[in-house]
Structure 1
Amino acid sequence: MSWRRPLRWLAAVVFTAAFAVVAGTFVPRPLWPAAKADTATGETHRILVLANPIHTDIAIPINAETLARFPFLGESGMPVAHPDARWLVFGWGGRAFYIETPAWSELKPVPLFKGLTLDRSVIHADVAGEIIEPADHIVSFEIGTEGYQRLLSFIEASFAPVDGRIKAIPDTAYGENDRFFEANGWFSAVRGCNTWTAKALREAGLRTGWWNPLPVSLSASLKLYN
């Protein structure tokens, strides 16, 4: 019957997508673990991976080094110098969906469509105080100095200058502590926020799955290979 062919195509698409997610979780990237000589010296840097059902962020400590590395955060009005500020939190995502959907109750058709197809990207930067650990949605890592510097460089390179400067996108913040910035690269369902997080963690010397489009797959691969 004619209606069976579309069903077969749909089943094939669903099976392929499921297989890709599973394979992307359980095939490590890189395939072989890197040497950990720099962590053996005792000098390490603590980072956090924060997850919700659809998105992951990376948190790095606020200190003199990170404030000097990202001076435009304070210049944008973020309270990085507040005495209770402890962490800088970074996430990458699709411009329309990320900016226009601070909560599920505010989901709109156009940002959702762009989030499922193709969109320009933005960086969301936030300031956090003490983050309580352990927690189900938080994973922490101690990484060596070389990996930490590569991570900072990767995050810095993700910001896109506008007229020669990195500056916040006007009137886009969720609250007083956060800002959105133009980012490099295009967002899609294949290359999304969680694949950005995974790539950043690989720069830090960690191993992820080969393709981690979902927080659950990224979390699973991090636990398996680190």
Structure 2
Amino acid sequence: MTKLERVQAEITQCRACPRLVEWREEVARVKRRAYREWTYWGRPVPGFGDPRARLVIVGLAPAAHGANRTGRIFTGDRSGDFLYAGLHRAGFANQARSEHRDDGLTLSGAYITCPVRCAPPDNKPLPEELTRCAPFFDRELALLPARVFLALGAIGWNAALVALSRSGVELPAPRPAFGHGAEVPLPGGRTLVGCYHVSQQNTQTGRLTPAMFDAVMSRVRRLLDTSPP
């Protein structure tokens, strides 16, 4: 077992946040009618992707009937449909859909993680839950050779900045604000890039379109192509 696999295994066993444990397990027990035949994962969800990834994508938290059901981040919901289709177009995924853990999906050069590993009520983790999950986030980032961090939404953006600061990276002052397409140059030729979250709230209202996502991914690819190895 590699160090990254060890972290992933530890994540799946965590019960540190009583509110999140109660909610994720209740969702897994009650289920949604469309998925009543499923055996829900109902546990914390580890990161997923290429352990040699130079691109790290930072989301928010597992979806109650998506990753909390399937056990893989951004899998089994509309957000994942949008994200993986975009990653496939950009050459980071071998297929455009992510439906369950054994569907053959693999990522090349990219790794997806979240600052919160359990599905939170109303998709709103509490500050103390982010704090409890932070060591897992830090350990994953330390084991990945990332050159570009792509933050999906403001919570992912702030979590990435805080994690980078904890690791000793000197950040600009004041702390850079999140924005779609925002960029923060980091020491060592690394870059933090912002993108609206791929939630239905954004993709179904036109706030984030496939063309907008593709433009961000084109910029990510250029940054990777010009960054030091």
Larger RCO, structure (CA 8 Å, separation 6 or more): 1
Report the TM-score, using the length of structure 2 for normalisation. Answer: 0.25
Say which one has the larger Rg. 1
